Amino acid sequence: MSKNKKTVFEGSAVAIVTPFKNDKLDYETLGRIIDFQIDNGTDAIVVCGTTGESSTLTDEEHVEAIAYTVDHVAKRVPVIAGAGSNDTRYAVWLSREARRAGADALLQVTPYYNKATPKGLIRHFMTIADATDIPNILYNVPSRTGCNITLPVYKELAKHPNIVATKEASGNISTIAQLMAECGDDFDVYSGNDDQIVPILSLGGKGVISVLSNVMPKETHNICQLFFDGKVKESAALQLELLELINNLFIEVNPVPVKTAMSLMGYGSDEMRLPLCEMDEKNLEILKNSLRKHALI
């Protein structure tokens, strides 16, 4: 099968944090973060994803954050808008709003809590993909949603012209290898885990949608670029060099550590919306030590 779907991006996309100030979106800081990312080689911006605390944004804030990001990025890199939901009708509405705001592509997480049967999952994603004319990237993160996209479901979804890729955060390399063997010609795969960038690239993956990139955009991009340039040993060495920091960015539930890290680096406050809250002091010290090791603070 020859590839006829356009690749949204290759390399590193940042799952960008959403800064708050006095419980309002802090657009000044968001703009600085976007510029920091693009200036340091980030290949795409993912706004209002899990790391962007989409679950506690109002509808108005969600759409405004996408529109602001599109405007500030100004076509320098693709903007991918988180538009997923466990309510298909709401995901359709949000996808259309993101399209209207100028997003280049959409990120669609699997339905959480209510989950779905395989048949329901296929209909859910197909209905959303039918609603706009821009690419959809699926997001498989069963540890958060309790819902997993199986290979037969992927094979059906890959047939849709607007469903072009998946962010795979299941952690199951064997399943991802099978997915790429069966669907890889017409379906892009991105790592959803920063500790699996090189393994997924080695199977033909197109890059990563990254939490690490918030704090180390250049290095996250370089892991991918070195691999693409045939410097596989150097790519793997950089992946392993950053492994401790990658792990410590998940020492508490994401995005608590990465938002704290961004604040320590001078990018806004560490303000989060409940049920997320400030880090445990012991974990905070571990995170700070990792940041110091890489001269980030």
Count of CB atoms situated within 10 Å of the CB of 71? 12
Phi, psi of 67 (to 5 degrees): -60, -45
Q: Which residues are catalytic?
A: 139, 167
Contact 41, 226 (CB under 8 A): no
Measure the CA–CA gap between 215 and 284, rounded to whole angstroms: 15
Amino acid at site 113: Y
> How many residues are recorded in the chain?
297
Phi, psi of 215 (to 5 degrees): -100, -25
Contact 216, 294 (CB under 8 A): yes
Residues 68-74: contacts with CB within 8 Å, 24+ apart?
68/27, 68/30, 68/31, 69/16, 69/30, 69/34, 69/45, 70/101, 70/102, 70/103, 71/102, 72/30, 72/31, 72/34, 72/35, 73/34, 73/38, 73/45
Query: Rg of the Cα trace of the chain?
Result: 18
Measure the CA–CA gap between 182 and 162, rounded to whole angstroms: 18
Measure the CA–CA gap between 249 and 260, rounded to whole angstroms: 9
Measure the CA–CA gap between 277 and 30, rounded to whole angstroms: 20
Contact 86, 94 (CB under 8 A): no
